[in-house]
């Protein structure tokens, strides 16, 4: 049916495919929302500080 090197190649393909799948799930559910929330929080702080500085002048 399969020779041993074909079997190893198939296992390597499945491993790479699975790692890629879980990496995409991790990125889309944790890293991207974390980055977006942090970026929005920083923009809010900068606007608040700019407004505060403008009121103090």
Is pLDDT at 2 greater than 80 in this prediction?
no
Residue 21 sits at the vertex; the CA angle it makes with 2 and 7, to the nearest 5 degrees, is: 10
Calpha distance 51→46 (Å, rounded): 9
Is pLDDT at 18 greater than 90 in this prediction?
yes
Domain membership of residue 56 (yes or no) is yes
Domain membership of residue 3 (yes or no) is no
Q: How many domains does the chain have?
A: 1
Domain that holds residue 29: 17-57
Calpha distance 40→35 (Å, rounded): 9
Domain membership of residue 6 (yes or no) is no
Q: What is the pTM of this model?
A: 0.67
Task: Convert the pLDDT of each residue in 29-51 to its tens digit.
Answer: 999 999 999 999 999 999 999 99
Instruction: Give the contacts of 2 (CB within 8 A, at least 6 positions apart).
Output: 10
Domain membership of residue 5 (yes or no) is no
């Amino acid at each position: 049916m399969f020779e041993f090197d074909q079997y190893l190649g198939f296992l390597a393909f499945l491993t790479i495919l699975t790692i890629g799948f879980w990496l995409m799930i991790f990125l889309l559910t944790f890293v991207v929302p974390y980055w977006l929330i942090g970026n929005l929080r920083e923009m809010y702080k900068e606007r608040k500080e700019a407004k505060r500085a403008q009121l103090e002048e």
